[in-house]
Amino acid sequence: MEDDYVQEDDGEIFIEQDDVYAEVPDDGNPPMDEDDEATDEVGNLPTGGDKINDNSLQRFSTHNGSVFAVSCHPTEPLAASGAEDDLGYLWDITDGEVIVKLTGHTDSVSSTAFSFDGEMIATGGMDGKVRIWRRVGKENYRTWEFLTELQGPDEVMWLRWHPKGNILLAGSNDTTVWLWQLPSGNIMQVFAGHTGPVQCGEFTPDGKRIVTACADGTLVYWDPRSPSPIFKLTPQDARFELGGITSLAINSSSTLAVVGGTTGSVRVVSLSKGEVVGVLEGHAEGESVEAVQFIDLKRTSGGHGVVMTGGTDGKACVWDVGTMRLRATLEHQDAVTTVLAHPTPKSHLVVTASADKTLKTWDIRTGTLVKEHTGHREAVLSASLGLQGSVVVSAGDDRDCLVFTTEVDEEQ
């Protein structure tokens, strides 16, 4: 895969006005649509007894403990989930049948991830192990075998596969980041530029670079071929002070990163210049920004990107990256834990998951709530879109995974 990592030319970035550094306050958030006013009254689960309005298509209740992670196969009706019972499961989202019991961990399974082509599945645990299974044959998607166990991290915080190849990236609680080649399992690189637990990380969409960030508030931009950072941003740069970094996303052209922190602040970083080019202030101070997601809305955003941030204040803020303006604030009754962007042609639809036990599908062109997904009895901790975005699979503190349709009756 070394050929994937050719030298990257400085690309044009989606920032205007000479990349002026600007703070963008919450300026009252003019409503995008009158339907926004109704969102506060939507989504109250029945509180009497154990009765819950469950509009899910399928419930997977095999785990014995909180389910921390769930991932959908890129093309097939499969999901992989991981939980505090030290187990992962690969299961069929149409009937809930277990395809493979993903064993071998000795502590909670905190991460699951399918490779870009869906031929491999990785699980990461608090025991520091990364275990890999692969699909057997081409006849069907229901036969899998254990491939190998990768070791190195102290505690796996997250897993990411390369967007174009069988290379796996993992962040560790011990300040390191690990890169492996599969199926050999050989270590390609160990990155050691952080000073705190590496809480988030991503490959750039073009596959040429890596961005990681840690609990000490440091962001590092890497060339996968080198153990030395291309650049590093730390809280010593006052413009980059946002507490511990809890979330990040990279735009489709691999030129911008948006990062969220524990103080409620969000920073826009130019990857080609290695500097902060904007501050997005819409979340409550001191409320952690737990999710960031770029959304392809070029037709309605003047050719620039749109990004959504979700925080523990229950807000999902929608931003126009070109102007750095707040477009809308969408509301949950508790922390937003996950933000998911639909693939084209329905990229105007996004799904948010929350500790308020619900998931919601929104049309962010208007800020309208399209559909609410209920059935969990405790906080929703993770979610993943499957089957080209037609379903969302959620993982909850109630030990369950639920499958919901995101399709709507009327044309969206």
Kindly report whether the peptide bond that precedes residue 74 is cis, defined as omega within 30 degrees of 0: no
Phi, psi of 231 (to 5 degrees): -155, 165
Predicted local confidence at residue 15, as pLDDT: 37
Q: What is the pLDDT of residues 269-282, one digit of tens each?
A: 999 999 999 999 99
pLDDT (tens place) for every residue of the chain, 412 residues total: 444 433 334 433 333 334 334 444 444 444 444 333 333 333 333 444 457 799 999 999 999 999 999 999 999 999 999 999 999 999 999 999 999 999 999 999 999 999 999 999 999 999 999 999 999 988 888 999 999 999 899 999 999 999 999 999 999 999 999 999 999 999 999 999 899 999 999 999 999 999 999 999 999 999 999 999 999 999 998 889 999 999 999 999 999 999 999 999 999 999 999 999 999 999 999 999 999 999 987 654 444 589 999 999 999 999 999 899 999 999 999 999 999 999 888 888 999 999 999 999 999 988 999 999 999 999 999 999 999 999 999 999 999 999 999 977 554 3
Predicted local confidence at residue 298, as pLDDT: 61
Q: What is the pLDDT of residues 181-224, one digit of tens each?
A: 999 999 999 999 899 999 999 999 999 999 999 999 999 999 99
Nearest to 236 by CA among 255, 248, 219, 261: 219
Q: 330-341 in b/e burial notation, b at 16+ Cβ within 10 A?
A: bbbbebbbbbbb
The owner of tokens 């009754």 is 333
Task: Give a three-class secondary structure readout of 80-112.
Answer: EEEECCCCEEEEECCCCCEEEEECCCCCCEEEE
How big is the chain, counted in residues? 412
Phi, psi of 189 (to 5 degrees): -165, 145
Could you tell me the two tokens for 193? Answer: 């530029």
Nearest to 301 by CA among 278, 328, 322, 270: 322
> What is the distance between the alpha carbons of residues 355 and 340, in angstroms, rounded to a whole number?
15
Predicted local confidence at residue 407, as pLDDT: 77
Predicted TM-score of the model (pTM):
0.86
Mean pLDDT estimate for the chain: 87
- Looking at domain 58-282+374-405, does it have CATH number 1.10.3720.10? no
The owner of tokens 């409320």 is 287
CA dihedral 247, 171, 67, 389 (to 10 degrees): 60
Domain boundaries defined on the chain: 58-282+374-405
Q: Is 101:87 a contact under the CB 8 Å cutoff?
A: yes
Predicted local confidence at residue 409, as pLDDT: 55
Nearest to 249 by CA among 230, 279, 269, 222: 269
The single-letter DSSP state of residue 26 is -
Predicted local confidence at residue 52, as pLDDT: 78
